[in-house]
């Protein structure tokens, strides 16, 4: 039953225990608990809200707008739903958690003492940081009454009854001026408008200068006729006065039914809804037929029409479903329309009713009665389905004449099967169909229909569905569908044979465990061998797919070799290795691969290599270093600071005795060494060098600095010894707790010129073996007759001289005997050997440390001529030159097609070759003799010669044929 409106909390024992514990906590704290808070019409589940907030890091972190912006709004959308009031509902959700759960969170989750209720539950939920809130640092916000009391007078009189306060304005302002502040006092009378009056003194000066005094009698002041002056001035002002221009009124059109009919339609609709009764309001959002409702979309309409069982409706539905599945098969999914695949399968099952007196029904109950032979189990599939079908009386349909009813029904069945076939091409639909037991029952029944010309198309569609769906399920050898597929291999229809072979080979292909193909008749295996002789690549490919899957188990290989002609099968498979081969020049196959543009760090040269470079002066030293560690690449770039830091880190230790270049000169030298390298400024002031990139391995340049010309292009050797380096403590972003300092294994990654240098580096730097003391020998006086003899320059100690130490003789450099008591561990790559492992192998007078050093030497790479850019002194024979022909390849330039299938089948046969064809009887020696004879019979001299030829001449199959020969 659907929950009622407003009831959105699912009750459970866990929820009840949580509420009981929460109620006891609030009762002990003295606060109120709202057990079923509501936001709108939705009840909020306090347990789920508590788990979500604690899972996000707690109340303080969720309320932090920088760490988790709009987190309360996301929680509101999750618990209430997204709507136009989400912003307000977010605060309601926060307030519910604040009042009911925040103190409980601090006590139970963080195991701390919560703030008192006076500064927690009894104040607003605005802000955060409740865990750090105390009575000393928390300022309680004033209430609304306190704000009103502080803003105005404490009396209860209304503002209109209070005496206005005296306005203290600017004394320079005129009373009633517009610039003054508006107040509640008495308004002043606005000043009277006075027309402009010119200055009388200025007017008098102009009159005296231009004309004589007027003879008009009248009162004068200082010789000026005052009345005449004011009269003339007022007349001039009035004459030049211009009234304010008038502007036309902006008219707003009146809404009438003629100019805005939509407004009146909406208004009438609103009034009708307002005056509607309770029944009309209940069905207000449901568009009933005849009221403009267009009905469901074509997908739902077609599914409902198919489920109706009415022939015309079925024809309408299947017509549109065939078109939809063909044009929109990538978006039309079974999971979006529950019941669609069952309706289609039910329709296909009606095909049995055309040939047998049977009508199937489907039950989706747990207990399906076995007495009803026409009832199918829709939950777990039906067993013994084929036997039920064959027990029924078949109808007489031997002729090819079909009436109109039979033909229309068969067409609808074929269209339903075509819809399933089109939709199963999509992997998600194939997985959905594989999980539907009714589909497997449908396939088993369709494949066991009588051989009639009218159902050929239906059988092909069923095989296509099986090919797509059986990849995701594992069916046993006794399953009706498996037996039906094996029986199809006896057909004479090429299309049925090809599809069936591919289907059987793909059974359970997407599952982890391999699938063994059982109960394949020997006659079928011989037919497959004969099909390999046909000039039909598609049929051959299907046969090889089947044989590859079949030969993946030793028992099947034994059965295969007993059922077929061994020599013939071996010749057929080896001949397919060169199928479609094309002769190409030897150098065309070994074309250079596209350059690897993966960015790698700058190689770190060893101390010995750097000391050899120090024999050169700048800028030749930096040029040599650049040629060794970098190569030109027009599409790559690196920052100037990283390049400068790599150069500085290499030579900074020797800067006091061998000064290196300054940054500007070094960047210029990069462009001098590599012609295409240029210094540029990228976006956001990023200074880069474009046109070079670091090498994966530094190389010898053959231009000095310890490098010989004969070794030009040889890669240096990398030290892969792993050492532990300390790692600083890290702070957890959620809890804020610092983790304890740890160590991390890193690779040494230094590059050396020789194996001895690297071994000496490991013993001295990583293992820290003690150095051997110098051995003193008596100083030999030179022969007096040798006039060319010179006194020894070696160190003299009490008449003794220390002989020169050979750096390649490590016994003269290190004291291995004194290091034997220490246990050393090998850290090269993933090796875990220790020096104590060699104690038993060491002689009584030998040293375990020396044996351990020899063990380390086995890890060290040694330069081979193949790593040089040198030509081989002798060319190989033309008969064994690799790359004389190539076969079909895929987009990754790997072997594909019939040659690859034949090579894989031969590999399986060589791997699981039985000891003899007769597993019973005979002595052990005889069985071993039979095994040798069987292997020699299958992989005879001619077959092995062909395999060796492919191994030497085919660039695409060389690795696969090598696996065959290793098995042989």
Question: Which of 376-390, 663-677, 806-820 shows the lowest mean pLDDT across its residues?
Answer: 806-820
Mean pLDDT of 491-508: 91
- Hey, what long-range contacts does 877-882 have (CB within 8 A, 24 or more apart)? 880/952, 881/586, 881/952, 881/953, 882/586, 882/589, 882/590, 882/952, 882/953, 882/955, 882/958
What confidence tier does 461 reach under pLDDT thresholds 50, 70, 90? very high
- Structure confidence at residue 488 as a pLDDT band (50, 70, 90): very high
Mean pLDDT across 817-836:
85
CA 355 to each of CA 70, 441, 451, 504, 691: distance values in angstroms, whole numbers, following the listed order:
66, 17, 11, 27, 77
Are 474 and 508 in contact, with CB atoms under 8 Å apart? yes
Q: Strand 42-43 vs strand 38-39: parallel, antiparallel, or unpaired?
A: antiparallel
Residue 456 contacts by C-beta under 8 Å, 6 or more apart in sequence?
493
Higher pLDDT, 205 or 42: 42
Whether residue 414 has pLDDT greater than 90: yes
Mean pLDDT to the nearest integer, 372-386: 85
How far apart are alpha carbons 467 and 461 in whole angstroms?
10
pLDDT at 831: 86
pLDDT above 50 (res 444)? yes
Report residue 690's pLDDT band, with 50, 70 and 90 as the boundaries.
confident
Cα radius of gyration rounded to whole Å, the chain: 49
Closest-CA residue to 568 (of 933, 937, 914)? 937
* pLDDT above 70: residue 206: no
- Average pLDDT score over residue span 348-371: 85
Which two structure tokens, joined as six digits, stand for 625?
């270093």
d(CA 416, CA 516): 32
Nearest Cα to Cα of residue 693 among 629, 623, 610, 625: 629
Report residue 158 as tokens. 């209304």
Residue 726 dihedral angles phi and psi, to the nearest 5°: -70, 145
At residue 889, what are phi and psi to the nearest 5 degrees? -130, 160
Range with the largest mean pLDDT of 71-85, 161-175, 404-418, 782-796:
404-418
793 or 534: which leads in pLDDT: 534
Q: Are 914 and 561 in contact (CB under 8 A)?
A: yes
Q: Which residues contact 956 (CB under 8 A, 6 or more apart)?
A: 886, 887, 888, 889, 893, 894, 895, 899
Average pLDDT over residues 499-503: 92
The values of phi and psi at residue 321, to 5°, are: -65, -35
> Under DSSP, is residue 432 helix (H, G, I), strand (E, B) or coil?
helix
Residues 613-638: pLDDT tens digits? 888 888 888 888 888 889 888 888 88
3-state DSSP assignment of residue 569 = helix
Contact between residue 317 and residue 305 where contact means Cβ atoms under 8 Å apart? yes
- Tell me which DSSP letter residue 198 carries: -
Which residues make Cβ contacts (< 8 Å) with residue 227, sequence separation at least 6?
218, 219
Contacts of 292 (CB under 8 A, 6+ apart): none
Taking the C-alpha atoms of residue 312 and residue 736, their distance in angstroms, rounded to an integer, is 70
Alpha helices, H only, 590-724:
607-613, 620-629, 640-651, 663-673
In this predicted structure, the answer to whether residue 922 has a pLDDT above a threshold of 50 is no
State the pLDDT confidence band at 919, using cuts at 50, 70 and 90.
very low
Residue 627 main-chain phi, psi, to 5 deg: -65, -35
Mean pLDDT of 575-595: 67
Note the Cα 652 to chain centre separation in Å.
Answer: 42
Reply yes or no on whether the pLDDT at 560 is more than 70.
yes
Q: CA geometry: angle at 815 spanning 812 and 817, to 5°?
A: 125
Confidence (pLDDT) at 87: 87
pLDDT score recorded for residue 554? 87
| Backbone conformation region of residue 739, classed left if phi is above 0, alpha if psi is from -120 to 50, else beta | beta
Q: Where are the beta strands (DSSP E) in 304-351?
A: none
Is residue 430 within 8 Å of residue 424, measured between CB atoms? Answer: yes
| CB distance 582 to 899 below 8 Å | no
- Token readout for 689 is 């060098």
Q: Quote the CA–CA distance of 624 and 627 in Å, as a whole number.
A: 5
Query: Which tokens in the block code for residue 438?
Result: 């009714």
Q: How far apart are CA 631 and CA 609, in angstroms?
A: 19
Identify whether 619 is preceded by a cis peptide bond (ω within 30 of 0). yes
Interval 722-738 mean pLDDT:
73
Q: How do residues 66-97 score in pLDDT, each as one tens digit?
A: 888 888 888 888 888 888 888 888 888 888 98
Residue appearing with tokens 């459970």: 12
Give the percent of the chain with pLDDT over 90.
15
Under 8 Å CB-to-CB from 162, ≥6 apart: which residues?
153, 155
565 pLDDT higher than 70: yes
pLDDT of residue 161: 46
In whole angstroms, give the CA distance from residue 711 to residue 841.
38
Q: For 776, list phi and psi in degrees, rounded to 5.
A: -95, 140
CA atoms 446, 448, 449, 451: torsion sign: positive
More confident residue, 199 or 507: 507
DSSP one-letter code for 82? -
Output DSSP code: residue 52: H
Residue 871 or residue 309, greater confidence: 309
Q: Residue 169 pLDDT more than 80?
A: no
Contacts of 904 (CB under 8 A, 6+ apart): 544, 548, 960
How far apart are the C-alpha atoms of 127 and 119, rounded to whole Å?
13
Q: What is the DSSP letter of 624?
A: H
In sequence order, which residues have a C-beta less than 8 Å from that of residue 306 and are 6 or more positions away? 313, 314, 317, 318, 321, 340, 343, 344, 347, 416
φ and ψ at 511, to 5 degrees? -85, 160
Q: Percentage of the chain surpassing pLDDT 70? A: 76
Beta bridge partners of 726: 743
**Alpha helices of 30-58 — where are they, by DSSP H?**
46-55
221: its two tokens? 């002041």
Burial status of residue 345 (CB atoms within 10 A of its CB: 0-12, 13-18, 19 or more): buried
What's the maximum distance between 2 C-alpha atoms anywhere in the chain?
Answer: 169
Residue that the structure tokens 């020797």 belong to? 654
Average pLDDT, the chain: 78
Q: How confident is the model at residue 965 (pLDDT cuts 50, 70, 90)?
A: confident
In a 3-state reduction of DSSP, which class is residue 783? coil
Contact 961, 900 (CB under 8 A): no
């Amino acid at each position: 039953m659907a929950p009622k409106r407003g009831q959105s909390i699912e009750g459970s024992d866990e929820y009840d225990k949580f509420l009981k514990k929460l109620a006891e906590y609030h009762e002990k704290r003295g606060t109120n608990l709202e057990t079923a808070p509501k936001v709108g019409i939705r009840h909020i589940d306090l347990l789920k809200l508590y788990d979500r907030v604690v899972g996000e890091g707690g109340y303080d972190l969720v309320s932090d707008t920088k760490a988790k912006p709009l987190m309360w709004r996301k929680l509101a959308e999750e618990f209430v739903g997204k709507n136009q009031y989400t912003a307000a509902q977010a605060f309601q959700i926060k307030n519910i958690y604040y009042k009911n759960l925040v103190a409980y969170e601090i006590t139970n989750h963080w195991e701390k003492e919560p703030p008192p209720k006076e500064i927690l539950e009894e104040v607003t939920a605005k802000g955060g940081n409740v865990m750090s809130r105390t009575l000393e640092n928390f300022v309680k916000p004033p209430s609304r009454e306190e704000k009103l009391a502080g803003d105005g007078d404490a009396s209860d009189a209304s503002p209109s009854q209070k005496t206005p306060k005296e306005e203290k304005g600017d004394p320079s302002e005129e009373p009633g001026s517009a610039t003054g502040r508006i107040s509640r006092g008495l308004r002043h009378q606005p000043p009277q408008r006075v027309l402009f009056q010119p200055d009388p003194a200025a007017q008098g000066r102009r009159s005296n200068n231009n004309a004589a005094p007027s003879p008009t009698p009248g009162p004068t002041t200082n010789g000026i006729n005052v009345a005449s002056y004011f009269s003339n001035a007022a007349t001039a002002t009035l004459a030049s006065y211009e009234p304010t221009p008038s502007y036309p009124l902006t008219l707003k059109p009146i809404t009438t039914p003629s100019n805005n009919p939509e407004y009146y339609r909406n208004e009438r609709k609103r009034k009708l809804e307002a005056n509607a009764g309770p029944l009309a309001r209940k069905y207000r959002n449901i568009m009933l037929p005849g009221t403009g409702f267009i009905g469901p979309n074509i997908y739902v309409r077609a599914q409902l029409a198919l489920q109706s069982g009415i022939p015309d409706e079925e024809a309408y539905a299947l017509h549109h479903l065939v078109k939809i599945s063909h044009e929109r098969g990538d978006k039309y999914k079974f999971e979006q329309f529950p019941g669609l695949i069952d309706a289609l399968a039910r329709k296909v099952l009606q095909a049995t009713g055309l040939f047998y007196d049977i009508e199937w029904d489907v039950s989706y109950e747990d207990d399906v009665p076995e007495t009803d032979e026409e009832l199918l189990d829709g939950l777990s599939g039906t067993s013994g389905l084929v036997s039920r079908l064959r027990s029924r009386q078949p109808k007489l349909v031997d002729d090819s004449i079909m009436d109109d009813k039979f033909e229309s029904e068969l067409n609808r069945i074929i269209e339903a099967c075509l819809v399933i076939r089109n939709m199963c091409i999509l992997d998600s639909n194939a997985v959905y169909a594989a999980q539907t037991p009714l589909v497997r029952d449908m396939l088993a029944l369709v494949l066991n229909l009588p051989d009639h010309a009218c159902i050929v198309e239906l059988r092909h569609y069923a095989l296509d569905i099986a090919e797509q769906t059986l990849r995701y399920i594992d069916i046993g050898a006794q399953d009706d569908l498996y037996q039906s597929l094996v029986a199809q291999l006896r057909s004479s229809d090429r299309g049925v044979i090809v599809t069936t072979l591919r289907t059987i080979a793909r059974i359970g292909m997407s599952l982890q465990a391999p699938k063994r193909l059982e109960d394949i008749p020997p006659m079928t295996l011989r037919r497959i061998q004969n099909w390999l002789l046909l000039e039909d690549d598609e049929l051959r490919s299907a046969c090889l797919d089947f044989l590859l899957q079949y030969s993946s188990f030793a028992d099947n290989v034994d059965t295969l070799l007993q059922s077929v002609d061994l020599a013939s099968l071996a010749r057929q498979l080896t001949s397919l290795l060169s199928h479609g081969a094309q002769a190409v020049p030897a150098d065309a196959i070994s074309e250079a691969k596209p350059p690897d543009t993966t960015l790698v760090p700058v190689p770190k040269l060893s101390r010995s290599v750097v000391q050899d470079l120090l024999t050169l002066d700048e800028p030749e030293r930096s040029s040599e270093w650049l040629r060794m560690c970098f190569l030109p690449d027009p599409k790559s770039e690196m920052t100037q600071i990283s390049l400068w830091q790599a150069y500085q880190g290499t030579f900074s230790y020797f800067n006091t005795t061998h000064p290196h270049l300054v940054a500007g000169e070094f960047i210029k030298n990069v462009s001098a060494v590599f012609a295409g390298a240029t210094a540029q400024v990228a976006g956001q002031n990023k200074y880069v060098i474009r046109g070079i990139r670091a090498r994966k391995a530094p190389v010898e340049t053959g231009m000095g600095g310890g490098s010989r010309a004969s070794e030009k292009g040889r890669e240096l050797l990398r030290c892969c010894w792993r050492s532990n380096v300390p790692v600083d403590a890290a702070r957890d972003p959620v809890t804020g707790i610092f983790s304890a300092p740890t160590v991390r294994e890193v690779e040494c990654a230094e590059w050396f010129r020789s194996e001895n240098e690297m071994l000496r580096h490991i013993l001295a730097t990583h293992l820290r073996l003690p150095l051997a003391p110098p051995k003193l020998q008596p100083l030999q006086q030179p022969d007096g007759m040798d006039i060319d003899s010179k006194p020894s320059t070696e160190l003299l100690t009490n008449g003794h001289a220390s002989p020169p130490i050979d750096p390649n003789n490590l016994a003269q450099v290190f004291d291995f005997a004194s290091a034997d008591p220490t246990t050393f561990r090998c850290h090269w790559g993933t090796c875990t050997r220790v020096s104590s492992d060699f104690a038993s192998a060491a002689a009584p007078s030998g040293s375990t440390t020396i044996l351990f050093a020899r063990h380390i030497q086995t890890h060290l790479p040694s330069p081979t001529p193949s790593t040089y850019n040198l030509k081989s002194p002798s060319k190989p024979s033309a008969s064994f030159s690799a790359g004389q022909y190539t076969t079909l390849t895929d987009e990754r330039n790997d072997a594909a097609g019939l040659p690859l299938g034949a090579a894989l089948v031969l590999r399986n046969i060589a791997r699981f070759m039985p000891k003899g064809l007769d597993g019973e009887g005979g002595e052990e020696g005889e069985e071993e003799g039979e095994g040798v004879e069987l292997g020699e019979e299958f992989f005879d001299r001619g077959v092995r010669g062909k395999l060796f030829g492919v191994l030497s001449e085919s660039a695409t199959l060389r690795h696969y044929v090598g696996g065959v020969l290793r098995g042989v």
